[in-house]
Amino acid sequence: MNARTEKDALGSLDVPADAYYGIFTERARQNFKISGITADRDFIRALALIKKAAAAVNSELGLLGERTGGAIISAAAEVADGKWDSQFLLDVFQAGAGTPFNMNCNEVIANVAIEKLGGKKGEYQLVHPNNHVNMAQSSNDVIPTTTRIATLFSMQPLMMAIGKLAAEFRKKAAEYNGIVKTGRTHLEDAVPIRFDQVFNSYAKALDDCARRIKTAEDSLLQLGIGGTAVGTGINTHPQFKEKIVSKLSEYAGFKFSVAADSILTTWSASAFLESSNSLRLLATEVIKISNDLMLLNSGPKTAIAEIILPEVEPGSSIMPGKVNPSVPECAIMVCYQVLGNDFAVAEAAKSGQMELNVMTPLIAFDLLWSARIMANTLNMLNESCVSTMKVDAGRAQQLLEKGLSLVTSLNPYIGYEAAAEVVKIALKEDKPLTTVILENKIIDEQDLRKVLDVDAMTEPGLIDEQMRMRIQDSELFKRFKQAHQLK
């Protein structure tokens, strides 16, 4: 292997000659061979923008030479744009506080900048990873700030995916407006509900999730960069903190503010936990919606089958013609992973000691991964399932007519006990509700049609007092109650 030799406090080590990273990254690469998963693109982008902003501010403050600062700014911009992603090969599970991540970025930017100045990789007298690229910074303020910015980046496609899926459910609500189905509670028949009400409720649940994610973003916008090692700001210019936050607002496109307490931001992970919690709530709602879609699609001949999900793949290796709800199944699996990630974030968030939480690499990995896989999942659910699913209005009507929960609308007119007795008779004699009511002459046919209007059952409504009194005072109804020993 062609190599160059670099030195640090631990001694000398060979680094691949063509590598833009240096000795710190090489040591970390050799030490932490855990998952094979490397840093998220948004994480690298955010980290590089911090380096770019720091170099710009230190140059403005006269602490970094114009030529050196310019080379660092140019190199950091390339890293932020993804040109040097191949040089970020460290495992996401690594030394605490993300120091390897920070030094990986410092070394890559330094070596790219060195070449821009006409030097060769490893000639750190031109641009040094620590002295120049990491000037006025520490891993302890850089990595939490990187995680904040990267999370904000990752939430943007997720928010778009949530909005698109919510809009698709509203579109389905408009398409199937007024079609009534059997409601179900405890997985048993319940009172009627319209498909537009069901689909609009899904859309509202997603809207609420988006609102929670947006609220959690407020904490992420408060940056502790400039706090350095323990948040006190050692080795920084008095104006550095304000200036770098302003630069980052310009570079990243968010309206950041200086954290009120940069000591707090070095050890507290509550902002990350708040965002993770919002993703957990989103995953929880998506699990429920996906379960509903699978149940409503179940059958297609022996179960509910009130909706028809698109066929995306054969469903069995042994049963010809079988088709499964594969997309909702996949969505639920992803959501379970997000729930697990949230647990890991919660455990990591409470694992800080003294002036630092060393678990930030795990927090960053799980938080960014959750946001990414949830965005992809919602897009899949939208494009491969909800957008082309259909409601079988005939099947919904068929099941509605067979159901016994319609008797609920009789409660105000004949009372709970009498209505329950009607259900018992209908079950025992295997007859429709209307047949039992008319055979026992509890209510005449004209009044019964009015009471059992399923459209009316899906909205609040006033009781017809004249009808109620007429039914209650009828001799036939009194005899029915007496025959069945009802009060």
Which sequence positions are flagged as catalytic?
Answer: 316
Question: Using DSSP, how many helices (H) and how many strands (E) does the chain show?
Answer: 19, 8
**What's the DSSP call for residue 178?**
T
d(CA 110, CA 130) in angstroms, rounded, equals 9
Mode of pairing for the β-strands spanning 222-223 and 257-258:
parallel
DSSP secondary structure code for residue 138 in this structure: -
Q: 356 in helix, strand or coil? A: strand
- What does the DSSP 8-state code read for residue 93? S
Q: Where are the alpha helices (DSSP H) in 137-269?
A: 139-175, 195-220, 240-252, 262-267
Please, which residues bridge with residue 14 across strands? 5
Asked whether the beta carbons of 15 and 73 are under 8 A apart, the reply is no
Asked if residues 468 and 194 have their Cβ atoms less than 8 Å apart, the reply is no
Residue 123 near residue 65, CB atoms below 8 Å: no
Closest CA to 236 of 265, 269, 262, 255: 262
**Any residues with CB less than 8 A from the CB of 286 and at least 6 apart, and which?**
331, 332, 335, 374, 377, 378, 381
361: helix, strand or coil? helix
Burial class (CB within 10 angstroms; exposed 0-12, middle 13-18, buried 19+) of 477: buried
Query: What string of DSSP letters covers 243-277?
Result: HHHHHHHHHHSS--EE-S-HHHHHH--HHHHHHHH
Burial class, 290, CB count within 10 angstroms (exposed 0-12 / middle 13-18 / buried 19+): buried
Between CA 100 and CA 280 the distance in angstroms is 29
Q: Tell which residue, 248, 244, 223, has the closest CA to residue 59.
A: 244
Q: Cα(371)–Cα(118) distance, rounded to whole angstroms?
A: 41
* Rounded Cα–Cα distance for residues 65 and 123 (Å): 17
